[in-house]
Structure 1
Amino acid sequence: MNATTAHGHRSTARPVLSGWLGFAGVLLFTLGLIHVMSGLAALFKDDYFQVASGSLLVFNYTAWGWIWLAIGVLQIAVGIGVLGGSLAARAGGVALAGLALIGQIAYLAAFPFWSLIGVGLCVLVIYALVAPPENARGT
């Protein structure tokens, strides 16, 4: 979208600043930190996620810990990319928020309140990433 001014100089289009993308980037970064801590808790303290009924939807606490650790580290990186205006980071953020949303369902038996909050935050992140225009930046 370059336009020629009256003096013959070209002006470059500035990216649109989006509060939603700024919010999504910061929230992805924060959720990434929380998921890293959850992953470390699952790795180092197996009984942290156990419930009396045994109805937690995980197959192996060590694998569960590594999955949350990987999702968390990726969310931190993607959150930084979203703040920088990367369209690929926005797409990755939607995918990671979707994965985290599914993962939060497994927490329903152990932590129902936090799980519902986590599902809501993931939905909010997805909306915040897809609502702004394509050329928008978070900062």
Structure 2
Amino acid sequence: MTGIARDHLYGVPRHYEYRFDLPAWGWIHLVVGVALLLGGIAVLREVTWGRGAGLVLAAVSLITQFMFIPYYPLWSISVMTLDLVILWALARLAV
């Protein structure tokens, strides 16, 4: 939410291919986060499409965090680790 409200919180890399303004990154993270929440609820309720949606959403979150590394590396790497654990767990989940 801070990325949405304040544009000058994080350092902005000069030469970076995926350089958006910080409110745009804030909105991207908010949308991905809400989608992950809904996907997590679907997985916990054992909805038939929940596992597939969880895999796709965790992969999208992983890619998003990878693109956000130059702005806030410690947070991005920790969330990427969590995304990888989730991907592994959902892929190994018994059908």
TM-score by length of 1: 0.59
| Equivalences for residues 54-93 of structure 1 within 5 A | 54-55=14-15, 57-93=18-54
| Equivalences for residues 115-126 of structure 1 within 5 A | 115-126=76-87
Change in 2 beyond 3 A, CA 1:110/1:67: closer
Q: Which has the higher contact order (CA 8 A, sep 6+)?
A: 1
RMSD: 1.8
TM-score by length of 2: 0.82
Deviation at 1:91, TM superposition (A): 1.0
Report the identity percentage: 30
2:72 is matched with which residue?
111
2:11 is matched with which residue?
50
Segments of 5+ residues of structure 1 without an aligned counterpart are 1-39, 135-139
Please tell me whether the aligned partners of residues 7 and 21 of structure 2 are also in contact (alpha carbons under 8 angstroms): no
What is the aligned length? 94
Larger strand percent: 1
**Structure possessing the higher radius of gyration over alpha carbons:** 1
Please tell me whether the aligned partners of residues 58 and 64 of structure 1 are also in contact (alpha carbons under 8 angstroms): no
